[in-house]
Amino acid sequence: EREKANLLAEKAKYLLKAGDAAGATKARSDLQTFWLERAKADSSDAAPYQALLTLYASEDARDNEKAYQALLEARKRDPDFDRWGLEEARCLLRLGRHDQAWKLYDKAIRLGKMDAFREAAAMYEAGLAADRAGQADQAAMLLRRALWCNPRHSLAKEARSRLKIEE
C-alpha cells in the first residue's frame, strides 16, 4: 500500500520535472484519492491525514486550507502528532494568520523545541511570522539566526530584505 503511494508521489514529481503539468496534476489527484480512501477505510488512523498534509503543503500542489484541515484531522487521531505546533504554525503562516502562527512559534522557542541548526526553515518562518505579527525585535533575532544557519535557504532573500541587509 505505501509502495503505491510512494510510486504515485514519484510519478507526480517526475511528470512535473518533465514538463507534463496535466500528468502531474492527475498523479497528485490519484495520490489524494488513495489517501482519502485509506482514511475512510480506517477512521482512527492518522497516517493518511499526515500524508495528505504533506501533499497539500508541497510547493507544486499548495492548498493551504486543505493542509491545515489535514493537520487537524491527523491530530484528532494522534494527539502527539505535531506536539510542539511547528506544522500548525507553518500552516497558519501560509494562511496569513500571522499572530496565531507567531504564538505557536514563540511557544516552541520558549520550550526549547526549535533548534536553529535542525529547524532553519522554521526559524525563517517564525521570524517572518513575528515580523508580520508586529514583533520586530523577535523577528530580527530569528531571521539573523536563520541566516547564520542557512544563508542559502529559499527564504534568505526575504529575510535580508526585512532586515535591510544587502546581499
Does residue 10 lie within any of the structural domains? yes
SS3 per residue for the chain:
CHHHHHHHHHHHHHHHHCCCHHHHHHHHHHHHHHHHHHHHHCCCCCHHHHHHHHHHHCHHHCCHHHHHHHHHHHHHHCCCCCCCCHHHHHHHHHCCCHHHHHHHHHHHHHCCCCCCCCCHHHHHHHHHHHHHCCCHHHHHHHHHHHHHHCCCCCCHHHHHHHHCCCC
Q: What is the mean pLDDT of the chain?
A: 89
**Residue 59 shares a structural domain with residue 14:** yes
Distance between CA atoms of residues 48 and 33, nearest Å: 10
Does residue 6 lie within any of the structural domains? yes
Average pLDDT over residues 124-149: 90
Its pTM stands at 0.76
**Residue 60 shares a structural domain with residue 8:** yes
pLDDT of the residue at 116 = 56
Average pLDDT over residues 97-118: 83
Q: How many domains does the chain have?
A: 2
Does residue 86 lie within any of the structural domains? no
From 47, 77, 107, the end of a domain falls on 77
**Residue 61 shares a structural domain with residue 13:** yes
**Residue 16 shares a structural domain with residue 53:** yes
Structural domain boundaries enclosing 43 = 2-77
**Residue 114 shares a structural domain with residue 49:** no
pLDDT of the residue at 166 = 58
User: Residues 57-69: pLDDT tens digits?
Assistant: 887 768 999 999 9
Does residue 82 lie within any of the structural domains? no
Q: How confident is the model at residue 71 (pLDDT cuts 50, 70, 90)?
A: very high
**Residue 73 shares a structural domain with residue 103:** no
pLDDT of the residue at 62 = 81
